[in-house]
Amino acid sequence: MGSAAPGDTADRWLDRAHERFAAEGLRMGAARATALGVIARDAICPVCVQDLVRAVRRQGGAGSQASVYRVVEQAHRLGLLRRELGPDGGVRYEIVLPDEGHHHLVDDDSGETVPFVDDDLERALRQAARRLGVRMTSHDVRIRGVRP
């Protein structure tokens, strides 16, 4: 089991986000650029929009709470973010990169979520998709447990 390279993932996602927003004719103003940068950095694991708003504000970013929500919704619509319900019932978002999977280990004691990469698991998932007769477009693996 290896560890994800968050900086590389964030950079690749941000490049893709800029391309997708430009292809949709959406201009890259200061507020949008700041929000996307924060998303790339902070949404490698699921995060709520309020946490993204706070991070943009800590960074001194331009734009309002509504701006951040709008960018998140646009990124979700463009297939750049995955939306899921968190354990508390709140909505969380996570960046999506095609052909790149990372998984999550959730510590039941602390609630900490740790991303990880496992090449053997990736191979097994691709094989399972082939056996099921589907072309896998994405997957989500979350292992929950207690650390020794």
Residue 125 lies in a domain: yes
Q: What is the pLDDT of residues 5-14, one digit of tens each?
A: 556 878 889 9
CATH number of the domain to which 112 belongs: 3.30.1490.190
Of 2, 21, 50, residue with least CA distance to 42: 50
Residue 1 lies in a domain: no
Q: Answer yes or no: is pLDDT of 62 > 70.
A: no
- Percent of the chain scoring above 70 in pLDDT: 90
Cα angle, residue 110 at apex, residues 108 and 113 outer, rounded to 5°: 75
Domain boundary among 54, 70, 95: 95
Q: What pLDDT does 130 receive?
A: 93
Neighbours of 1 (CB within 10 A): 10
Q: What is the pLDDT of residues 86-143, one digit of tens each?
A: 777 889 998 887 666 668 888 888 877 787 778 898 889 989 999 999 988 777 788 8
Domain that holds residue 139: 103-145
